[in-house]
Amino acid sequence: MGPLYRQIYRAFRNEILTRALAPGERVPSTRALAGLLKVSRNTAVLAYEQLLAEGYLETRVGAAGTVVAPVLPPDSFRSHLSLERQRRTVSRGDARLAMVGERILKAARATTDSLGLPSLSWELTPPRLRYDFRPGRAAFPDLPYALWCRLLGARARHATLRDLDYGPPQGRWELREAIAARLRRLRGVEASPERIVIVNGTQQALDLISRVLLNPGDRVLIEEPHYTGARCVFMSAGAQLLTSAVDNNGIQVPKVTKQNRAIRLAYVTPSHQFPTGVVLPIARRLELLDWASRVGAFIVEDDYDSEYRYDGPPLQALAGLDREGRVIYVGTFSKILFPALRLGYLVLPEVLVEPVVAAKAMGDTGTAILEQLVLADFISTGHFDRHLRRTNISNAARRNALVAAVRKEFRERAEVCGANAGLHLLVWLKGSSGGMIADVHGKAEKAGVGLYGVESFYLKPPKRTGVVLGYAPLPESEIREGIRCLAAALK
């Protein structure tokens, strides 16, 4: 796609070459164009300057302003026809995808369609949405941005040649050591730095696991409902997905049968199940570990939102209870700090460390070094814990505002679930049947409210309609007003 000004330039150039814009025809002013496309005026100016420099537009003194040039550049039609021939050639199927490429594209398209995203660009915040309750976003107002910049500046000023060279694919020791100490203290996970692999977030972690452990046709057990990003990765690997329903105590552990003895992998979110928000109790965690031992499966523990718990202390992670080396622990800093950081980690059974590091090295050779070192400083100097304490207080206040607003505006029309932890909650709309989410989504969007329907997170749609509401980046006043607008739109 390229920069916005280049996209605008190409659109105008195509309109001129195809005579949709006639020679001498006046084009909008840069101010008017910027307002029409909802871009900055500088973006519009850059696009026009490129068109003027290449001879597609010209300026005229007086009222005429900027117009399409009467005589176009001599090579313009030749280059346009050449480009069209290239496009036709590629579209005829010369770029035939491999089977894995077809699976990746199919899974990605299915995910974006189910979430209502406009394309594979993964655009999260269309400008028309005034109140964006869609989950998965960090508490940006609480980010200690100035402190982070100081730490980053200090690391950059004192960077050695080693810091500027390729780093170890497994990640820098300083960060792995800081993560290991933190997991031992807060999650009860005895994770040595040697078993930790630094990755670019949860998605890469799941992709590495799939590449190392799954063959096409292997069975993977997932929660129902579940995180669609995981579903997308497992589908891309050609896995056969089996689901187990989530109740008020999390995933229901399946019985040991001939069918599930062939399950290779189970993916769970026990600390704050996505999207229902329920917490897997200790008894069921132990039951799940026993099941994995009996069927010979690995468990992927996505410790999603474990840092944010408002009513009571967090339960010990599955990886901390594991005595056989069956749990693969996945953590991320995207929600605690900010998604653009692109830093997460895996805690692996010893037998999987070498193949996963090899897969990581083949994929991208390693993760950005300076950011790893800054994060290590942020953790080891105590800034991380202080930041987490502050954000827990502010997120609890946002959670309280959201729960109170839903109960006030919807009254008996809604049931709130999963409010004890995390950065989102689930609201079931009473009196509505499954399949109504398109109507709900459309009305919410018209009211300027962004949300996700819970149906997106099921393989088999539920019998009732629910919406997932994230609250981390929103001020309490916007939360209250947004829910008021949503309730009014759905009456």
User: Which residues lie across from 131 on neighbouring strands?
Assistant: 449
- Which option is the CATH number for 4-76: 3.40.50.720, 2.40.50.100, 1.10.10.10, 1.10.1370.40? 1.10.10.10
Cα–Cα distances in angstroms (integers) from residue 167 to residues 164, 180, 334, 366, 373, in the given order: 8, 19, 21, 6, 11
Report which residue type is found at 19. Answer: R
* Residue ranges with strand state E in 135-294: 196-199, 219-224, 240-247, 250-251, 263-268
pLDDT at 94: 57
Domain ranges of the chain: 4-76, 129-141+387-489, 144-382
pLDDT at 101: 86
pTM summary value: 0.79
The answer to whether 318 touches 283, Cβ cutoff 8 Å, is no
- Smallest Cα–Cα separation from 327: which of 268, 378, 385? 268
Hey, do 4-76 and 144-382 end up sharing a CATH topology, with the first three levels equal? no
pLDDT at 224: 95
State the number of CA atoms in the 13 A half-sphere of 374 facing the CB.
23
Q: Report d(CA 288, CA 292) in Å as an integer.
A: 6
> What does pLDDT average to in each consecutive run of 10 residues of the chain (491 residues)?
85 86 89 87 90 89 80 67 53 70 83 53 57 88 94 95 93 97 93 97 96 96 94 94 94 81 93 92 96 95 89 88 96 92 96 97 93 97 95 95 95 90 91 72 86 88 89 95 92 81
Give, in words, the CATH class of 144-382: alpha beta
* Residue ranges with strand state E in 303-391: 327-332, 344-347
Locate tokens 């997170």: which residue?
457
pLDDT at 117: 47
Give, in words, the CATH class of 129-141+387-489: alpha beta
pLDDT at 59: 87
pLDDT at 120: 47
